[in-house]
Amino acid sequence: MQPRTSRRHQRLNDLLRDELGNLLLHHTRDPRLATLVSITGVELSPDMRYAKVYTSILGVDEEKRAALQALRGAERYLRRELGERITMRRIPELQFQLDESIERGVRISQLLKQVSEAEQEQHPHDEAAEQPRPQEP
């Protein structure tokens, strides 16, 4: 069971997520980051020395690897920029991790849609049977 996150901790997680997203969107020039990269979440360690930064990267596997490598290479720049934007005693070390939950969600939605369509093809008249009949007076 994970320890409960304090409000302050959660606010810092959200602030770091927002600031990193802004930096990636407006202040990076690396073409590998021009692919659709977004920060989906930040999780500070209890001592606030480290921050796991979850990123969603759209593209093929090779583009994802290149973008993740570019993020890891830009860590010093991003930390320095965070230090100028956020008042914290110590800016945490950033540990970028790929977050594939969005892709999994899209895949699950596609599979559910396929199952639903297959069921309707097998039983097209069941839909009419399920509708309530008007009552006779």
Q: In angstroms, rounded to a whole number, what is the distance separating the alpha carbons of residues 25 and 12?
A: 20
* 86 φ/ψ angles, rounded to the nearest 5 degrees: -120, 140
Distance of alpha carbon 68 from the chain centroid: 13
The pLDDT of residue 105:
74
Domains defined along the chain, listed by start: 7-121 (3.30.300.20)
> Tens digits of per-residue pLDDT, 46-73?
999 999 999 988 888 888 888 889 999 9
pTM across the whole model: 0.70
Question: What strands lie across the sheet with 50-57, from one edge to the other?
Answer: 37-44, 50-57, 93-98
Question: ∠ CA(93), CA(70), CA(18), 5° rounding?
Answer: 55
Does the pLDDT at position 3 exceed 70? no
Does the pLDDT at position 1 exceed 50? no
The pLDDT of residue 60:
84
Does the pLDDT at position 26 exceed 60? yes
**And the tokens for 127?**
């839909």
Query: For the residues of 60-95, what is the DSSP string, one character each?
Result: -HHHHHHHHHHHHHTHHHHHHHHHHHS--SSPPEEE
Between 103 and 14, residue with greater pLDDT: 14
> Tens digits of per-residue pLDDT, 77-134?
999 999 999 988 899 999 999 887 777 777 788 888 888 888 888 876 655 555 565 6
Q: In angstroms, rounded to a whole number, what is the distance separating the alpha carbons of residues 133 and 9?
A: 56
